[in-house]
Amino acid sequence: MDPQKEEPLWEVFIRSRQGLEHKHAGSLHAADAQMAIENARDVYTRRMEGVSIWVVESKYIHSTNPDEAESFFEPANDKIYRHPTFYDLPDELKYM
Amino acid sequence: MHSKPTNIDRNYLVDYTLHLADSSLIMGHRLSEWTGHGPMLEQDIAISNIALDLIGQARNFYQYAADIENSKNTEKKVTEDDLAYLRDTFEFKNLLITELPNGDWAQTIGKMFFFSAWQFYFYQKLIYSSDKQVSAIAEKSLKEVTYHVKWSGDWVMRLGDGTEESRERMDAAIDYLWPYTGEMFVPAQFELNHEQQVTIDVRSIKKNWLDKVKGVLAEATLTVPEDAWMQSGSKKGVHTEHLGYILAEMQYMQRTYPGLEW
Amino acid sequence: MAQDALNRWWWPSLMMFGPNDEQSPHSVQSMKWKIKRFTNDELRQKFVDVCKEQADILGITIPDPDLKWNKEREHYDFGEINWGEFWNVIKGNGPCNKERLAARVKAHEDGAWVREASLVYAAKHKNKTSDKEVILETV
């Protein structure tokens, strides 16, 4: 039982009452998940009822490297056949 | 929030709403002293928000008290500000526990936990008050207080079952605060008008409060104090020396520049 | 009271917009990244123009003898900021800064035992929490 010297960092995602997805709201420090959720409520929501909060320790989030964004994403734009707008639809199709 | 009181004798109702307003105001004021000095940024924000909740409750009760006063008195009209800022210590009816110094984080958490647990069971019954305004304020406050109890209770557990140092501090806090908890369940004259079913009987919530408190303390591996000599007097305007200092700071502006406006 | 306040706070308010654009090292990059949309001097000029109008309406005077409408520029010309004071303040040499930092340091040091307790508590209860959903209302 050796506690870390500092509270870990958590990323907070919140879905508002009318929302469909959780959006990244920010980050905070907390000793455990329970505390992280309470802190998230205090820091990022306050009076918003009916919201859903997700917290994830930052160390568990893996992301793309912004410097590599070009090589990682651009080629997809070149492959025009991957975009639905590439295809011509016959005129008879009315409801696409 | 404004509404007309009925023709039933309402003298006690002013005292009642002031007692509830004062308790929330003084507690909110004390908690706000932590702003900028909390042990962690997140807790600083949390406790400041709780203070804001309490001041919001106080405002609701002060506004209603002012309405009742003004309906009786056609000449001089009072506002919520007059009630909060121009009454002296012997007119305040806040529970003693609310005016005690914050001390360290443990003492503040202890104060908050005991007080918000009292508020929880109190408002839970008060929503059935026959007075619609009182009932409405109680309902709104209950939502906030439910969170306050949870938040402070969690901290009691973290500190009680944390390190040796945190347990010692929490123990010391509980010993210090316990003598101020008795008066929460001793009704004042203005609370004993039960035929009209506006007020609640505080004696009836004592067991709930004790069960809740003992439960949390036990889980936090803390000892419950033996029944001690209980301090009292707040509902009659008899306070500790702390209230004077609080009011001196809080009321300074209104008293120096009476009637000032933005 | 209002005039007093204006006398006291006018120049510090202008300083809040930062150094002149030539001396603002980060502005170029910030504007390239589109996180800053107007330069320090642009915002400061806007501020002066807006405040002068309001001061006139309120009947108070901005404490700047060089404040004058410039017909060609269509803006108010204003006096030079005391840049010596500015750089001293932002380097943290002022008394309020010392006090403020001391308060933050004290809060952090005084709170060490609280943070430690929450970490130890979390470690003790780590294996007990199997449920991933945290319930907020349990009274």
The model's pLDDT over B83-94, given as tens digits with 9 standing for 90+, comes to 999 999 999 999
- pLDDT for res C137: 42
In a domain, A73, yes or no: no
Of the candidates C104, C108, C139, which has its C-beta nearest B120's C-beta? C139
In a domain, A16, yes or no: yes
Nearest CA in chain B to C115: B39
In a domain, A45, yes or no: yes
- pLDDT for res C139: 39
The model's pLDDT over C73-107, given as tens digits with 9 standing for 90+, comes to 999 999 999 999 999 988 888 888 889 999 999 99
Mean pLDDT of chain B: 92
Beta bridge partners of A54: A13
The model's pLDDT over B198-213, given as tens digits with 9 standing for 90+, comes to 999 999 999 999 999 9
Q: Please answer yes or no on whether B154 and A28 come within 8 Å at the CB atom.
A: no
Nearest CA in chain C to A40: C136
Checking if the pLDDT of C134 tops 60, the result is: no
In a domain, A13, yes or no: yes
If pLDDT is split at 50, 70 and 90, which confidence band does C8 have? very high
Nearest CA among B201, B13, B174, B12 for reference residue B97? B174
Residues from chain A that touch C119, judged by Cβ atoms under 8 A, are 3-4, 7, 31
Instruction: Give me the sign of the Cα torsion angle C15, C21, C24, C28.
Output: positive
Q: Which residue has the higher pLDDT, B145 or A78?
A: B145
- pLDDT for res A69: 64
Other C-beta atoms closer than 10 Å to the C-beta of B169 total: 24
- pLDDT for res B204: 95
**Stretch among A4-8, C4-8, C105-109 having the lowest mean pLDDT:** A4-8
Domain count, chain A: 1
Instruction: Write a three-state SS string for B138-153.
Output: HHHHHHHHHHHHHHHH
In a domain, A7, yes or no: yes
In a domain, A71, yes or no: no
Domain, as residue range, for A8: 3-63
B45 touches chain A (CB under 8 A): yes
In a domain, A35, yes or no: yes
Question: Can you tell me the mean pLDDT for B178-182?
Answer: 95
Nearest CA among C10, C7, C84, C85 for reference residue C47? C10
Q: What is the CATH number of the domain that holds A18?
A: 3.10.20.520
Instruction: Give me the sign of the Cα torsion angle B118, B123, B125, B126.
Output: positive
The model's pLDDT over A28-86, given as tens digits with 9 standing for 90+, comes to 999 999 999 999 999 988 766 668 999 999 999 988 876 666 666 665 566 767 777 77
- pLDDT for res B212: 96
What three-state secondary structure class fits B54?
A: helix
Shortest Cα–Cα distance, A83 to chain C (Å): 29
Question: Can you tell me the mean pLDDT for B154-163?
Answer: 96
| Angstrom distance (rounded) from CA A33 to CA A30 | 7
Which CATH superfamily, name and number, covers B10-256? Ferritin, core subunit, four-helix bundle (1.20.1260.10)
Checking if the pLDDT of B129 tops 90, the result is: yes
Checking if the pLDDT of C108 tops 60, the result is: yes
In a domain, A23, yes or no: yes
- pLDDT for res B102: 97
Shortest Cα–Cα distance, C2 to chain B (Å): 11
Q: ipTM of the predicted structure?
A: 0.86
Report DSSP letters for chain C, one per residue. Answer: -HHHHHHHHHHHHHHTT-S-GGG-TTHHHHHHTTS--S-HHHHHHHHHHHHHHHHHHHT---S-TT-EEETTTTEEE-PPP-HHHHHHHHTT-SHHHHHHHHHHHHHHHHTHHHHHHHHHHHHHTTTT----SPPS---
Q: Please answer yes or no on whether B105 and C111 come within 8 Å at the CB atom.
A: yes
Where do the structural domains in chain B lie, given as residue ranges? 10-256
